[in-house]
Structure 1
Amino acid sequence: AYARRAGMRAIVMIPEGKVATGKLAGAVAYGAEIIQIPGSFDEALAFVVEICQKSEIELVNSLNPYRLEGQKSAAFEICDTLGAAPDWMCLPVGNAGNISAYWLGYTQYDKLKDTGLPRILGVQAEGAAPLVLGHTVKYPETVATAIRIGNPARGEQALAAAEESNGRIISVSDELILAAQKQLASHGVWVEPASAAGLAGLKQQLEAGMLKLKGKRVVIICTGHGMKDPDIVTSRGVKPVKLPADYQKVADYILEPNKK
């Protein structure tokens, strides 16, 4: 959108068949040129990085330091809202830009306002957990498309954030991610699958007895709206109740006792 307003050319390179429809629709709506190549997100990123290094094209993903400078301000807002940093902050980890930016924000704000520092729980999907496994995942697979990344651009910073905060980076199954997504939706918060990873990870750690949070303040970061990756919901199938165009039959169905 900003490129279009400025009259600049915006190009989005994606791995074929690996990007959620909602995310792609937004880029198309704003006039971006879409290039798709076979392979993974990491292979597409490698192409982009090399092209940008050999030209005057600006890379605007998580490798761009200005992006992190903007993202870090979310940590300021959390501290301002709570009056201090939370005890724990949980969030999904894919390319690791968010976790790196938040930690940058917390550390800077603590030096400025003595807000304290949270412990950070970063959560990857089991099928795309290079930071947990300790090595690149060549073919990452998970329903959480936003964190389906096998070689995070900010991996080193993410590990540093976890270590410096006395936190940890863990992985959770797709089953737990989808259960967390459903739980959030039941409270009126519809997020994309990847965005539910923070809650999934927190619940996993609590049930395993790895966290003791009584009296603690915990912030879970939900990174993306459900419309950014609606495919998993629509793939389950929508089965509308078919009724005739008859007022009484429609009314009877709607007003039937115990109808959920």
Structure 2
Amino acid sequence: MKLMCIDCGEKLSSGKFSYNCKCGGLLDVVHDFNKYDTELLKRLFTERLSERMTPYASGVWRYKELIAPDLPNDFIVTKYEGNTGLYSSELLQKYTGIRKLYIKAQSENPSGSFKDNGMTVAVSHGKSLGYKKFTCTSTGNTSSSLAMYASIAGADSYVFVPNKDISLNKVLQTLAYGAKVFSVEGNYDEGIQFLEKHSSDLGLYICNSVNPFRIEGQKSIIYEVAQYLNWKLPEWIIVPGGALSNATALGKGLQDLFTLGFIDKMPKVAVVQAEGASPFHKMFVQKEHELTPERFPYTRASALNIGNPPSWKKALKTLTQTKGVSISVTDEEILDSKAVIDKCGIGCEPASAATIAGLRNLISQKVIDKDESVLCILTGNILKDTEVLNYYHSSESATSTFKNTLQDVVLSYNNIKDFVV
């Protein structure tokens, strides 16, 4: 297992850890899969489904051989993450117009988001290097996940969040797990730049998506879906795009599965951004070679509120390798889609709902055929952003298509009968 620069191709030993190559490019973990027998791995992964109270009970560490084979088990910091639900919904199929739809609810992770899949590996790797202080910049989900794992590890966490346009719920969750939280002027992108410049001097281990071991953990999401579906994946996979770590990880996981022979065909990946924060989408559709950052991104789907996604080169590689697409959707489309996801009993935070909004548009544009099979990744829990829930379902909201307002009534049979009968 080595680290390789995605720009210049230079390789480093995984024992010599860095976030960036000396040329400035991001690093990627490179595995030697030649030593593995795919059928033996399939049996091993199936056997581990019965594990309890060991690292292999985790939906991430079940696939340890493909993620961090050299990491001693004593350093693993886990809360048995992964193992999240894979659902179907007639209501969502009707709403989107697709006939075969799977929903992967990463919102069911211990801290309530997909970040746990990557964070368990990042914190475990940092612990193996002797770090006692962990850090990230975040719009919310990364920070709460990091704070949880750092606390389990008996370590300290230091989190930088923008002082506006983020969910208070996520900040409170991060504080509750014991992190030192700094509310700062500026945005996510400036936080990343600060950490890349100063983390070494401060003795901090960065757990954002610039960390290649975070990506290694997140790719387990697609391993798990493939195993649930007996190693036959849908034709399309749709993910929301903020920092673009999810698109990066899914692409890497798909390439692993294809290289090893777990799957015989690569699904296409679609990345969905909010219109108010869509630098990657604009670059992709305009066929530019460099991403132009957005200085003041804004969307009510706060987890997507990122104007300079650090993983854009890796995400672009994913779309290129899978013949995938990019699309942007409005906040109104996101919130209406969220209301339908919530109503079908699964629920999600606003950013997650970008996948369903994107699917509707891709079907209407005939990019995806209604007879194709699709997997949508839901990234965060319904309670991650109650401010948006309150806004959408309030009587003052004029744009909510599926508004469900609180009924203020005098408790009597006749009053309740008017609603029930």
Give the TM-score normalised by structure 2. 0.58
| 1:240–1:18 CA distance, 2 compared to 1 (3 A) | closer
Is the 1:131–1:155 Cα contact (8 Å) retained in structure 2? yes
- Of the three residues 182, 185, 194, the one matched with 1:38 is 185
The reply on whether 1:143 has 2:143 as its aligned counterpart is no
Whether contact under 8 Å (1:172, 1:201) holds in the other structure is yes
Amino acid at match of 1:9: D
- Checking the alignment, whether the CA contact within 8 Å between 1:85 and 1:106 is kept in structure 2 is no
Matches of 1:186 and 1:240, distance apart in 2 = 15
Which of 162, 175, 188 is the aligned partner of 2:332? 175
**Given the alignment, which residue of 96, 107, 118 partners 2:267?**
118
Using the TM superposition, give the Cα deviation of residue 219 of structure 1 relative to its aligned residue in structure 2, in angstroms: 0.3
8 Å contact kept, 2:236–2:374? yes
* Structure 1 residue 22, shift from structure 2 partner: 1.9
Pairwise CA distance, 1:5 = 3.1
Matched, 1:129 2:286: no
Partner Cα separation in structure 1 for residue 277 and residue 159 of structure 2: 22
Note the C-alpha offset of 1:217: 1.7
1:259 aligns with 2:408: no
Pick closer, same or farther for the CA change 1:240–1:199 going to 2, 3 Å.
closer
Task: Please give the alpha-carbon distance, in whole angstroms, between the structure 1 residues aligned to 2:382 and 2:242.
Answer: 17
Deviations 1:101-138 (A, max 9, x none): 11111110122234131100000001100112222111
Task: Tell me which residue corresponds to 1:85.
Answer: 233
Please say if residues 16 and 36 of structure 1, whose CA atoms lie closer than 8 Å, have aligned partners that are also in contact.
Answer: yes
SS of 1:221's partner is strand
Identity of aligned residues (%): 31
Contact 2:165 2:298 in 1 (8 A): no
- The Cα shift of 1:88 comes to 0.3
2:355 to 195, 198, 222: 198
Give SS of 2:260's match: helix
Structure 2 Cα separation of the partners of residues 198 and 119 of structure 1: 14
SS of alignment partner, residue 293 of structure 2: coil
Out of 135, 142, 156, the position equivalent to 1:9 is: 156
How far apart are the structure 2 equivalents of 1:75 and 1:240? 39
Contact 2:234–2:267 (Cα < 8 Å) also in 1: yes
Aligned residue for 1:21?
A: 168
Shift of 1:72: 0.5
Matched, 1:66 2:213: yes
Report the Cα distance in structure 2 between the residues aligned to 1:121 and 1:213, rounded to whole angstroms.
Answer: 15
Q: Confirm or deny that 1:219 pairs with 2:375.
A: yes
Tell me, which stretches of 5 or more residues in structure 1 are unaligned? none
Cα separation, partners in 2 of 1:258 and 1:37, compared to 1, 3 Å: closer
**By how many angstroms is 1:243 displaced?**
4.0
- AA aligned to 1:80 is Q
What do you get for the CA RMSD once the two structures are aligned?
1.7
Aligned-pair CA distance for 1:33: 0.5
| Residues 202-211 or 116-125, more deviating | 202-211
Further displaced range: 146-155 or 43-52:
43-52
SS of aligned partner of 1:235: helix
Greater RCO between the two (CA within 8 Å, min separation 6)? 1
Tell me which amino acid in the other structure corresponds to 2:364.
E
**Residues in 1 aligned to 2:339 and 2:218: alpha-carbon distance in whole angstroms:** 27
Shift of 1:241: 3.6
- Is the Cα–Cα contact under 8 Å of residues 125 and 147 in structure 1 kept in the other structure? yes
How far, CA to CA, are the matches of 1:78 and 1:167 in structure 2?
19
CA 1:242–1:174 in 2, change beyond 3 Å: closer, same or farther? Answer: closer
Task: Quote the Cα distance in structure 2 between the aligned partners of 1:8 and 1:257.
Answer: 56
Q: TM-score, normalised by structure 1?
A: 0.92
Q: C-alpha separation between the residues in 2 aligned to 1:78 and 1:204? A: 24
**Per-residue Cα deviation, 1:204-235 (whole angstroms, up to 9, x for no partner):** 11112222241x22100000111111211113
- Deviation at 1:8? 1.7
Structure 1's consecutive aligned runs of 4 or more residues displaced over 4 angstroms after TM superposition are none
1:230 and 1:156 mapped to 2: Cα distance? 33
Aligned residue number for residue 33 of structure 2: none
Distance, in Å, in 2 between the alignment partners of 1:165 and 1:199 is 20
- The aligned length equals 254
Report the equivalent of 2:386: 230
